Amino acid sequence: MKDNFEPIPTPKAQLWKEFRVSYLPWIVMVVSVCITWLVWSRVAVAPTMMGEVEVVRAQIVCPEVGIVRNVLADRFAEVKAGDPLVEVQLTDRRSILDAIRIELGMLNSDRLTDSELTLQRAQADYYGLRFDLLEKQVEYEQAKVELDRAEKDLVRNQSLMEQNYVTKEDYDTSLAARDTAKKTVEELGALLPKLAENVESLHASIENLANKTTEAYDMKLVELEAKLAAVGASSDSTLTLTSPIDGMISGVWCSPGESVPEGTVLMMVNATQPQRIVAYMRQPFPVEPKAGMPAKIITHSRVQPILVDTEVETVGLFLEPITNSLARLSSEKTVDMGLPVSFKVPEGLELRPGETVGLLIR
């Protein structure tokens, strides 16, 4: 009879010791390999070159001499395209008068050159065609007379040949003359309608050109007269300068009541949405960049850099000096040259204009 012995349970300490000795080293090795691969593939990636998110700026310039009445937006204010920024009261109307004078001179120059010359050429062609038509009509009537004479001569020579008063050669000569005259009449009869149609078409074109030219000059002169009357009747007008792009105001260089000359920069607007990334590849080139080549963006603005797929948009044709934050200058190197390469900004990637990113081209 066998005794029923219960198995002796293994102590937990012994189980933990066996796990540490047999399994834990393998687990640690696998985790270490995964972490190393992750670090080298996503974090410790050496970029091919550095790039900068292009900053798009728009200057708000006063086009004429005036006085700043209202500044409608402050620095760091977000604006949309078309939003009013500055109100300027124009105090010098000489520029408006100069513009009217320039437009008037250009209009008069066009009248004396292009339009008049085109009309004169068309008229010369018209009268030339009419002369040709009249000349061909005279030839046609003359050919009809010659055909009538040739037919009478042919009938007479045929009767005389039957009576043996003329030879066969005389009859053949009169027959050939009749055929030639008949052919000439047929050709001129077919040509005259075409010439008449061309004359009528050109005459209609000349009338249309003359009417259009007159109407265009009348409309332009009425417009200039209205501008001149507005300048003489109105007092100093107020001009509202608006933002040409969506963005943020990065600089304000005017105050209410300030007199500003023509061409003064009053504000600067920076676009807040990135359009492309511009990088510079220095010599020697690690790769030969081409438009459409796949690439990756390495961002450094977060705790962990992110790799984002993109592609090369355009490649410059020559090296140029690097003048932005990407330049590497020293006391021995005062000019840094590179080949400009632009990259597309993928949708959904949040980048700030002016931000520096790495770019990897494989």
DSSP category for residue 267: E
Domain presence at residue 5: no
- 42 vs 39: CA distance, rounded Å: 6
Cβ atoms within 10 A of the Cβ of 267, count?
24
Domain presence at residue 138: yes
Does one domain contain both 311 and 244?
no
CB 170 within 8 A of CB 157: yes
- The pLDDT score that the predictor gives to residue 70 is 93
Domain presence at residue 245: yes
Last-in-domain residue among 174, 208, 233: 233
Does one domain contain both 122 and 150?
yes
Does one domain contain both 194 and 300?
no
Q: What are phi and psi of 127, to 5 degrees?
A: -70, -30
Last-in-domain residue among 205, 233, 261: 233
- The pLDDT score that the predictor gives to residue 122 is 67
Chain mean position to CA 266: 28
Indicate which CATH number applies to the domain containing 76. 2.40.50.100
Does one domain contain both 226 and 245?
no
pTM to 2 decimals?
0.50
Does one domain contain both 177 and 213?
yes
Does one domain contain both 260 and 285?
no
Does one domain contain both 129 and 226?
yes
Indicate which CATH number applies to the domain containing 172. 1.10.287
- The pLDDT score that the predictor gives to residue 213 is 61
- The pLDDT score that the predictor gives to residue 305 is 57
Does one domain contain both 65 and 124?
no
DSSP category for residue 288: -
- The pLDDT score that the predictor gives to residue 74 is 93
- The pLDDT score that the predictor gives to residue 215 is 66
- The pLDDT score that the predictor gives to residue 293 is 92
Tokens encoding 333: 């190197």
Last-in-domain residue among 270, 295, 330: 270
Q: What is the total count of domains within the chain?
A: 3
Does one domain contain both 166 and 262?
no
* Segment 108-121, tens digit of pLDDT: 666 555 555 566 66
Does one domain contain both 223 and 294?
no
Does one domain contain both 213 and 186?
yes
- The pLDDT score that the predictor gives to residue 280 is 94
Amino acid at the residue 351: L
Domain presence at residue 7: no
Domain presence at residue 107: yes
Indicate which CATH number applies to the domain containing 327. 2.40.30.170
The parent domain of residue 251 ranges over 57-91+236-270
Does one domain contain both 61 and 131?
no
Domain presence at residue 152: yes
Domain presence at residue 101: yes
* Segment 61-105, tens digit of pLDDT: 998 888 899 999 999 999 999 999 999 987 766 666 667 777 777
Which stretches of the chain score pLDDT less than 70? Answer: 1-5, 41-45, 92-98, 108-124, 126-127, 129, 131, 133, 205-217, 230-236, 301-305
